[in-house]
Amino acid sequence: MRTVLNVVWLLLAGLELAIAYAIAGLICCILIVTIPWGIASFRIAGYVLWPFGREITRRADAGLGSALGNIVWFVFAGWWLAIGHVVTAFLLAITIIGLPLAWANLKLIPITLTPLGRQIVDTHRPFAS
């Protein structure tokens, strides 16, 4: 089921979002000072391509630098991106087919607001023996 949702997501929203985040990452890397946010944008672009079956967790080694970087990110870009994801999720939720896609869009908000100090992990875990 995850694969089907990921393919539908990729065709309807994921590819465009990934391209947008990749372009933002390139711009951030060109500006040198903003390279950490560029790397975060590339990480988000990869997550946006295939969001079902993965989740966002905090990195244990994230410290003050990540927190300060997230504050700067939030002020200049994060809240705008979050508003865009909320609006898109609302529009997708109008149809029954769009409900899982709307949920995926809402799943992107935490990493959109605070991308530094986060990691993306698979939710599929093998059974413990």
pLDDT digits (tens, 9 = 90+) for 71-129: 998 988 889 888 988 998 998 899 888 898 899 899 899 989 999 988 888 887 554 44
**Full residue range of the structural domain in which residue 49 is found:** 2-122
**Has residue 70 been placed in a domain?**
yes
Separation of CA 50 from chain center: 10
**Has residue 129 been placed in a domain?**
no
**Has residue 127 been placed in a domain?**
no
Structural domains counted in the chain: 1
pLDDT digits (tens, 9 = 90+) for 1-37: 788 888 888 888 888 888 988 998 999 899 888 899 9
Which pTM does this prediction carry?
Answer: 0.80
Which candidate, 57, 32, 24, 48, places its Cα nearest to that of 123? 57
Specify whether the CB–CB gap between 44 and 114 falls below 8 A.
no
115: burial class by Cβ within 10 Å (0-12, 13-18, 19+)? buried
**Has residue 35 been placed in a domain?**
yes
d(CA 49, CA 29): 21
**Has residue 128 been placed in a domain?**
no
